Structure formats: C-alpha cells, structure tokens
C-alpha cells in the first residue's frame, strides 16, 4: 500500500466519523422535534406567581449525542482539508466530500433550529439549560429583554409594540443584556459573528408558546422582582430614601 492509498483511507475514515457524528445528531434532532410537535399541548400561565416556579420544557439533544456531535465537528476540518488538498491521485474524493458536507450541514443547522433548552422562571431570576449546564440569571441583573428572529448565522431584532414589523418574520429567541457593572458576561465567537454582541445571552423559544407572550411574561417577572428590591436596584418611590433597606 503506497502513501496515496494510506491518505485516502485516512480521509475516508475521517469522513465516516464526521457523518456518524453530525448525521447521528441530525437524525436524532429531527426525531425529537417530530415527537415534540405531536405531544399534547399543556396550557399554563407564564406570569409571576407568589409561590412556585414556571418550568418550560423544550426538545433537547441527549447528552450522548452532544458528545458524538463534538467528535464529528472535531474531525470535520481535517477531513475537508485532506479530501481537497491531499488526494490529488483520487480526484473523485474532493467533490464527494464537499457534496456530503454541504448537504449534511444544511440538514444539521435546519434540524437544530427546532431544539432548545429548559427554562425556569422564578421569583428571583431565571435558569436556562439542562441540569449541570444551566445558566442562572437574577432579574435585578437584567437590563434589557428583546425578541428577535435568529437563524443559523444571522439575526434580526423584532420591533417593539407600536412599531412596524415585517409579517413574514416571527421571533424565535429572546435576547437579554446584563448589568456589566455587576456581572461579567464574556462573549462567544458565534455571538460576535451574528452581530448581537450587545446582548449577553439568548433563549431559543422551543417551548410551544408565542415568543411575544413569553417576552411579556419575562418582563413582568423582572418588574415584580425589581419592585421588591430596595434602591439602588430600582428607582426610589416618592418620599423614599435611596438608602432604604
């Protein structure tokens, strides 16, 4: 076996690992999304409660497929580079690899649009994500909540009430911004590429409720939490001292 054949075998092996990793995650995401759409709808109030929490479930990729997906993305650049530049003696491998990768990536990003993470709305804040990986945010640290339409690599902020809104665009995420004087929130590369680096996080709405309704409920939870705090977390009421406990 010559060196060219060895490189070809390595390239094919990496392509197989990539297809298993990304293809397996894609197929699982499609299956989970279909099962989620067929589930019985649960009607529940989203507004603030005196006691208890509001828990919103979402279709989520299982942990084992998250790890398999990471392996697939890890070998992706190496498989692509070998297929395009290292197999000059086998001219068919480059177009086949590119065709497979472009098609599979398109299916992958489309399937992932239907997945999300669980969201819990509580009196003091909200928690977003699966157990062990959840993000916990206090309402008094949130300075802005807005709806947006987010695609795989780009996004469009939704208009506020009373402003014109393109009827073809429906919001599917809620962006939130934190008080950076109190909370350190580093930006990811994907946030910067999407052009929403002004915000510190995004909640993908895969809960089966309208995004506008969820946004209004979160703003109401925040208002109640801020009103319950003492200054300087909220503006003092008339006749109230800024140093009130």
What is the b/e burial string over 141-176, where b = at least 16 CB atoms within 10 angstroms of the residue's CB? bbeebbbbbbeeeebebbeeeeeeeeeeeebbbbbb
User: What single string gives the DSSP state of each residue in the chain?
Assistant: --HHHHHHHHHHHHHHHHIIIIIHHHHHHHHHHHHHHTSPP-----S--SSS-EEE------HHHHHHHHHHHHHHHHHHHHHHHS-TT-TTHHHHHHHHHHHHHHHHHHHHTT----EEE-SSEEEESSTTS-EEEEGGGEEEEEEEEE-SS-EEEPPPTTS---TT----EEEEEE-TTT---PPPHHHHHHT-TTSSEEEE--SSS-HHHHHHHHHHHHHHHHHTSPTTSSPPPTT--TT--
The pLDDT value given to residue 244: 45
Distance CA(44)–CA(47), nearest Å, equals 9
Entry pTM:
0.74
Mean pLDDT per block of 10 residues along the chain (245 residues) reads 85 95 93 84 75 87 90 94 88 92 92 88 89 86 86 60 60 87 71 68 87 90 84 62 50
Residue 154, pLDDT score = 56
pLDDT confidence of residue 151: 64
Structure tokens at 6: 């060895």
């Amino acid at each position: 076996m010559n060196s060219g054949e060895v490189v070809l075998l390595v390239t094919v092996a990496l392509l197989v690992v990539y297809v298993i990793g990304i293809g397996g995650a894609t197929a699982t995401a499609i299956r989970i999304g279909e099962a989620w759409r067929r589930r019985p709808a649960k009607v529940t109030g989203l507004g603030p409660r005196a006691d208890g929490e509001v828990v919103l479930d979402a279709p989520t990729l299982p942990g084992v497929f998250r790890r398999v997906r990471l392996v697939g993305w890890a070998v992706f650049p190496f498989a692509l580079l070998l297929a395009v530049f290292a197999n000059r003696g086998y001219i068919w491998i480059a177009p086949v690899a590119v065709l497979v990768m472009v098609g599979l990536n398109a299916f992958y990003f489309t399937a992932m649009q239907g997945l999300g993470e669980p969201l819990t709305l509580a009196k003091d804040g909200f928690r977003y994500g699966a157990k062990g990986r959840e993000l916990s945010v206090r309402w008094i640290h949130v300075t802005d909540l807005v709806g947006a339409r987010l695609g795989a690599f780009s996004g469009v902020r939704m208009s506020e009430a009373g402003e014109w809104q393109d009827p073809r665009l429906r919001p599917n995420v809620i962006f939130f911004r934190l008080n950076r004087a109190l909370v350190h929130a580093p930006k990811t590369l994907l946030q910067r590429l999407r052009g929403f680096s002004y915000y510190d996080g995004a909640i993908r709405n895969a809960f089966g409720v309208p995004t506008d309704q969820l946004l209004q409920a979160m703003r109401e939870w925040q208002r109640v939490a801020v009103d319950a705090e003492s200054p300087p977390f909220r503006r003092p009421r008339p006749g109230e001292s800024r140093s009130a406990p």
